[in-house]
A and B are shown apart, each in its own frame.
Chain A
Amino acid sequence: MFSNLAEKLQSTFRQLKGKGKLSEKDVDTAMRDIRLALLEADVNFKVVKDFVTAVRERAVGQEVMSSLTPGQQVIKIVNEEMTRLMGDKQSGLAKSNKGQTTIMMVGLQGSGKTTTAVKLAGHLRREGRNPLLVAADIYRPGAVKQLQVLSESIGEKCYSNLEADPVEICREGLQISEKESFDVTIFDTAGRLHIDDEMMSEITGIKNEIKPDEVLLVVDAMTGQDAVNAAASFHEALGLSGVILTKLDGDTRGGAALSVRKVTGCPVKFVGTGEKIEALEPFYPDRMASRILGMGDVLSLIEKAEATIDQDKAKEMEKKLRKQQFTLEDFRDQIAQLRSMGSLDDILNMLPDGGYIPKEIKQMSLNEDSFKVVEAIIGSMTGNERQDPTILNSSRRRRIARGSGTTVQDVNRLLNQFNQMQKMFKQMNLADKKGSSKKMKKVKKKFPF
């Protein structure tokens, strides 16, 4: 996510970093590049103007010019301003003290309200809450069914009434929620254009009826300059409490994230990062800013690893590594765990200096299919072979290649890689014992597990 913007900004920064002194002209060039990068990332042009002015003002000030590392200072300023633009701190969902929290989802057509409503229910369930979904989109054919099917798929309850109008449905849903002791009610409303007066007055009616604790605007991260118009209109009509950005898992540049917050003053609370129901993450402005600027987001990476990786297994793995008993079987486990953490692209982007990995290599390693090949090859080996690959003679290799639908060359390549890895681990252990070798520490840093 944000990869294009990140690439552009980081190349601007690389030029700044090397300089011992910054002239006003250097700053101007950098600001022009930043302006262009932001505009190409669909950040609203007014927001870009303000942003660049703010950065420039600080960059030509005393703070930078008198610094020994002016380039670094500029980066720091951009980082701070960008974090501020996105809203400084992470903001969670409101929790009503009446015992019943109500959340209303609104937005344009196709922004992802229905999917996000269910994702949010799943998120709340994981937090120990008991949510009810209410389907109030009676206009788009199949919308109610969609919410029902999705809710069922994760075992959540969904209320609707095909005979009633949206306001009635929401009123009934709220009553049922109270009666059956749900503690959160999520209302999925129909997609509508912000300039459609009739539809906008309908949604105001719903809002007045249920008086929600949260009114969340769902915004497609791929939206262009118009994002702010829509957001501003919805805010004016309804008084939004927050924003959820969807479809951030593509190569979207996510400029909407930067502008919507600025224009409405409402924080981005969550981001949708995939088609799976679990793919919803809280939005951390500071982490996102450093991700965009190529400073990595190790915090999120560690959290992700903690959430997905089995701690006991990890400890066992470490022991094995130290004793140099790392086998092909373990190798396969590692790959499976890594894959469960999400796409490689996302993981790479969270590493510091992610931007320094050349594009070609990124593209190569991003082919997740190559993992499947590895898994297939290891899967075609016998238990003994996995424990001790040295017994793999050419006839065994041929058998494995046939069994996994690959070629002997593929099998050889994998074994070579595995050998290399074992060698690397050996060196790491040695270095650890000596407690020296900066290089090895660096290697270790890049492989946090």
Chain B
Amino acid sequence: MSLIDQFKNGLARSKSGFISRLDGLFGGGEINEAFYEELEEILVSGDVGVQTSVKLVDQLKEEIRRQKIKAREEARNLLLQLITGIMKPGETSVEQDEQPFVILLVGVNGSGKTTTAAKLANLYRQERKNVLLVAGDTFRAAAIEQLEIWAARAGVELIKQQPGSDPSALFFDAINAAKARAVDLVIGDTAGRLHSRHNLMEELNKIHRVIGRIMPGAPHRVLLVLDATTGQNAVAQAKSFNQSLAIDGLVLTKLDGTARGGIVINIADELKIPVCYVGTGETMDDLAPFRPEEFARALLED
């Protein structure tokens, strides 16, 4: 299956309410205030957020006036371009001179960090990279076992310690081991934490510092894992994690449900944080690099 198909497939099952409303809206008729109001409402219902929705609709209005567009059908394409313009794709290459390349996954509880770590390992394993997984969630019961099972399935090595041990110490060992074994890519899982918990955010900071001490410049990519069903709180999450760690990109998970994940438009617009990958299912292959136009098409069309 091509990446595009895979990506679309994730969204395809869920065309129900959202897309049929869009189809109805862009189906025909003149462009008037009611059209804009309805569009704004649909965008809000896709978790795009009030502010960003209003902004998008205003920009669309402006463009429609400028290009003297009369038919609703054409407006759809315009909106697609607007959204594509906001969404810059995140970097996914892990090539660099000095090995290993270190990716750190962070996020709130239940967003899908552990599963994403496994999927990423699988993705780069297929590119013939020598990958090392780090079971950095030493807090949640059985999180280590979970990643262990995934690692075995992906045929990737895993570094772990006892439950409850200090994650910073684990990463210290892991990066050293990675250097010694000439690993290309280290993927670090971390425990889920709510961004409003000061102490837990400090712990994450410490992990980041420790990694940077053994290997200056690392971690090379910090990814915030975000559940596509998350609402406006995602902006607060992105802000907080970005403040304490400097987030390089997002992984949008669980896009195979009916949630639209519109919140990433908001985050891209407000915080300029791009999406790097999207997760679209429960098997190991259900992860693809993010493509803005595909996302916009999947969001707005069939």
Contacts and interface: CB of A to CB of B under 8 A. Distances in A.
A313 interface: no
A272 to B, nearest CB: 10
Given A108-B257, A225-B231, A250-B196, A45 B45 contact: yes
B211 to A, nearest CB: 24
Contacts of B254: 108-110, 193
Nearest to A220: B110
A253 B44 contact: no
B47 A224 contact: yes
B236 A251 contact: yes
B142 A146 contact: yes
Interface stretch (B74-82, B120-128, B242-250, B258-266): B258-266
A217 to B, nearest CB: 14
A250 B140 contact: no
A368 interface: yes
Interface string B196-233: 11110000000000000000000000000001011111
Contacts of A252: 233
A230 B257 contact: yes
B259 A146 contact: no
B234 interface: yes
Contact of A253 (B110, B199, B232): B232
A146 B229 contact: no
A109 B236 contact: no
Contacts of A253: 231-233
B236 A220 contact: no
A400 interface: no
Contacts of A109: 110, 112, 254, 282
A314 interface: no
A39 B254 CA distance: 23
Interface string B118-152: 00000000000000000000001111111111100
Contacts of B232: 40-42, 224, 253
Contacts of B292: none
Interface in A194-224: 194-195, 220, 222-224
Interface centre among A140, A144, A147 (most CB of B within 10 A): A140
Contacts of A366: 198
Contacts of A249: 194, 196
Contacts of B229: 108, 220, 223-224, 226-227, 230
Interface string A299-329: 0000000000000000000000000000000
Contact of B108 (A36, A143, A222, A256): A222
Contact of B195 (A250, A345, A369): A250
Interface in B166-215: 194-199
A224 B195 contact: no
Contact of B50 (A36, A139, A226, A275): A36
A146 B140 CA distance: 8
Contacts of B46: 225
B149 A45 contact: no
B234 A222 contact: yes
Majority secondary structure, A binding face: loop
Majority secondary structure, B binding face: loop
B41 A45 contact: yes
Contacts of B47: 42, 224-226
Nearest to A38: B50
A139 B115 CA distance: 12
A142 B146 contact: yes
A128 interface: no
A115 to B, nearest CB: 8
A252 B232 CA distance: 9
Contacts of B68: none
B233 A195 contact: no
B202 to A, nearest CB: 9
Contacts of A96: none
Interface in B17-57: 17, 41, 44-47, 49-50
A140 B227 contact: no
Given A224-B259, A226-B229, A249-B194, A195 B49 contact: no
A42 B259 CA distance: 13
Contact of B111 (A110, A255, A369): A110
B109 interface: yes
A401 to B, nearest CB: 23
25 contacts: A39-B44, A42-B47, A108-B229, A109-B110, A112-B109, A112-B110, A139-B282, A141-B150, A142-B144, A142-B149, A145-B145, A146-B143, A193-B257, A194-B257, A220-B230, A222-B108, A222-B233, A222-B234, A223-B229, A224-B231, A226-B229, A227-B231, A230-B229, A250-B197, A369-B198
| 5 A-B pairs closest in CB distance | A224-B231, A110-B110, A142-B146, A42-B231, A141-B149
Given A222-B234, A255-B231, 15 more contacts: A40-B232, A42-B233, A110-B110, A140-B146, A143-B142, A146-B141, A149-B163, A193-B257, A195-B13, A223-B230, A224-B231, A229-B258, A368-B198, A368-B199, A369-B198
Interface of B: 13-14, 16-17, 41, 44-47, 49-50, 108-112, 140-150, 163, 194-199, 227, 229-234, 236-237, 254, 256-260, 263, 282
